[in-house]
Amino acid sequence: MMTFDLQGKTALVTGGASGIGFEVAQLMARSGASVAINYLPQDPRGEAAVASLKAQGLAVIGAPGDLSDPAQADAMVKHAVEALGRLDLLVNNAGTPGVTKPIPVQDLESVSEDIWQTLLNVNLMSVFRCSKAAAASLKASHGAIVNTASIAGFGSIASTIAYSASKSAVINLTKNLAHALAPEVRVNAVAPGSVESSWAIEWSDERRRSTVAATPLQRWCTPDDVAELIVYLGFAGRMITGQTVIIDGGISL
């Protein structure tokens, strides 16, 4: 994995206990940044992730909090910023698929109200809550926000139509936040395709094979791939804002 020169920089990563969130936190910390890692308070992977990076001598702190709860989200961001001393980058990565098995797009009956409420609350509202709470600090540092969307947000069929809708909304929110926080703060998003991660979606072997076969670069993304793009958008690309960058090996071509 490449590294960047991030000495003196700070960042907060939501959903940082595993997968893309952990890899982006690790990349930034190895590049010299001080990083606050958010995770659900009851998730043992969160404390383990923080401990593993601290054992490497990296400047990381835990920032537990359930972002589906507005009060917890607000308090978590404010406590993290206070602990870091400033904030240069907010990575809104927390999210959930809401299901363990894909629901076919034609099966509307199985997409319950609970699924909709969970996905919109976690995948969409947490992005707004954390961005709102961090806005003043990011303006002061002329910082950036990077949101994790998905190619599902551009109309691809994902685990559920509710998931696709939640990520489409993140893409729209990214554009609106870019307007709202300009000129001090840049706001962008990444839209991964299929990623080798710890999310427990039970894709069939046939679907996995067909996905790779249909991908021009002939593999799934790794969390490392996405982490590098997030850090670039967060700390470089100084004239890029309001954009959602697809990273899917070309499958959406």
**Catalytically active residues, by annotation:** 163
Tokens of 77: 């961001």
Tokens of 111: 């997409």
3-state secondary structure the chain: CCCCCCCCCEEEECCCCCHHHHHHHHHHHHCCCEEEEEECCCCHHHHHHHHHHHCCCCCEEEEECCCCCHHHHHHHHHHHHHHHCCCCEEEECCCCCCCCCCCCCCCHHHCCHHHHHHHHHHHHHHHHHHHHHHHHHHHHHCCEEEEECCHHHHCCCCCCHHHHHHHHHHHHHHHHHHHHHCCCCEEEEEEECCECCCCCCCCCHHHHHHHHHHCCCCCCECHHHHHHHHHHHHHCCCCCCCCEEEECCCCCC
